[in-house]
Amino acid sequence: MADKPKVAVYWLGACAGCDESIVDLNETLLQLAQVVDIVLWPVAMDFKYAHIEALKDGEISLSILSGSVRNSDHEEMAGLLRKKSKLVLALGACACFGGTAGLANFKTKEEIFSWVYLDAPTVVNPEARFPQTETRVDGKVLTLPEFYDHVYTLDQIIEVDYYLPGCPPPPDLIANAVNSVLTGDLPPIGSTLAPRMALCDTCSRNKKKPSKMEITQIKRIHEVEADPDSCFLAEGIICMGPATRTGCGETCMKTNLPCRGCFGPPPGVVGAGPKYLSALTSLIKAEKTEEIHEIIKDIVDPAGYFYRFTQPSSILGRKKPKKQMEE
């Protein structure tokens, strides 16, 4: 009998939500386990680095990697799995675009370390010690991965064959993606395995969108009782639907929450942030600059909102340490 195709599942800088989504396949997961040989899945099974190292190059049919790349350990594991795999799937917003962790690119590594190890109210660190990549204890060397100055998307580190966004991606799209690999029914390399439309195109609230929308006031979702059927934007509530790919199953909408953009930009759009800004500004009803400022001042943390899941993949770049800024 031919060997079953090998599948690896691994988390890099991830929260395990993407793994949870795989677990949410429920019985389908048991059927899957009958037809594939899972060779790595830290959240569920006990395999070691050496098991993967011992495999031949390209021996794994599919590696499913979630999470962004923030340290040398993530980079090493991504590189090893790329070498051992025929196909790599970037699973979830973090792997595809950097995800929420990517907002850390608005801070420098020094600022993050200062807050976490010195300044946060619950920290007691009188000797101002920071984590080191090497420490000697009783003559032995202890090591930690190197924390990078930047959060990277997976494809900024290794070649990625397919993308499946979402935070986390819905189980049905994960099942479809694995099934496509098993049957060989795959779109061109580089494709995103999700519908090729914007969320607004499939949103049930679109029907109640007025033909001409004019925003005169920005409201936050907790400040109003949003109509459960109306378009959020028509009510002045920021909804990332116009700049986001559909495929999520509208889980946020169903709980009366606007889209935050975890599926990333729709096909053909380079950045969700600029696309959204352009959509939003075209809806703001104001004649004078001061009126525009008056309306947009109520957008709290615009960069954090418009780039919530996509900062590392955006053209924004990152905050430079002070010294480099001055050079």
Beta bridge mates, 143: 134
| Using rule CB under 6 A, residue 99 touches ligand SF4 | yes
**Spatial distance between the Cα atoms of 274 and 223, rounded to a whole number of angstroms:** 26
Residue with the CB atom nearest ligand SF4 in the bound state = 241
| Using rule CB under 6 A, residue 232 touches ligand SF4 | yes
Cβ-based nearer residue to ligand SF4, 179 or 206: 206
**Ramachandran angles phi, psi of 291, nearest 5°:** -65, -40
What lies within 8 Å, CB to CB, of 309 at 6+ separation is: 93, 97, 98, 99, 100, 102, 167, 260, 261, 262, 264, 272
List the one residue from 74, 82, 84, 205 that touches ligand SF4 (CB under 6 A): 205
| Using rule CB under 6 A, residue 94 touches ligand SF4 | yes
| Using rule CB under 6 A, residue 89 touches ligand SF4 | no
Nearest by Cα to 38 from 46, 49, 26, 28: 46
List the one residue from 18, 81, 164, 173 that touches ligand SF4 (CB under 6 A): 18
Cβ-based nearer residue to ligand SF4, 133 or 206: 206
Q: Are strands 69-71 and 147-152 parallel, antiparallel or unpaired?
A: antiparallel
Classified as helix, coil or strand, 65 is strand
Kindly state the DSSP code that residue 219 receives in the 8-state scheme.
Answer: B
Segment 54-83, which members bind ligand SF4 (CB under 6 A)?
A: 66-67
Contact map string, positions 116 to 155, toward ligand SF4, x by CB under 6 A: ----------------------------------------
Nearest by Cα to 91 from 43, 26, 37, 148: 43
Cα 77 off chain centre by:
18
**Spatial distance between the Cα atoms of 261 and 309, rounded to a whole number of angstroms:** 7
Q: Where are the beta strands (DSSP E) in the chain?
A: 6-11, 37-40, 60-66, 69-71, 85-91, 134-137, 140-143, 147-152, 162-164
| Using rule CB under 6 A, residue 15 touches ligand SF4 | yes
List the one residue from 6, 8, 9, 17 that touches ligand SF4 (CB under 6 A): 17
| Using rule CB under 6 A, residue 206 touches ligand SF4 | yes
List the one residue from 177, 233, 248, 272 that touches ligand SF4 (CB under 6 A): 233
What lies within 8 Å, CB to CB, of 184 at 6+ separation is: none
Q: How far is the CB of 232 from ligand SF4 (least distance, A)?
A: 4
Cis before 168? omega within 30: yes
List the one residue from 77, 90, 259, 272 that touches ligand SF4 (CB under 6 A): 259
List the one residue from 22, 61, 74, 92 that touches ligand SF4 (CB under 6 A): 92
Q: How far is the CB of 174 from ligand SF4 (least distance, A)?
A: 11
Cβ-based nearer residue to ligand SF4, 92 or 265: 92
State the residues that interact with ligand SF4 by CB under 6 A.
Answer: 14-15, 17-18, 66-67, 92-94, 99-100, 167-168, 199-200, 203, 205-206, 209, 231-233, 239, 241-242, 258-259
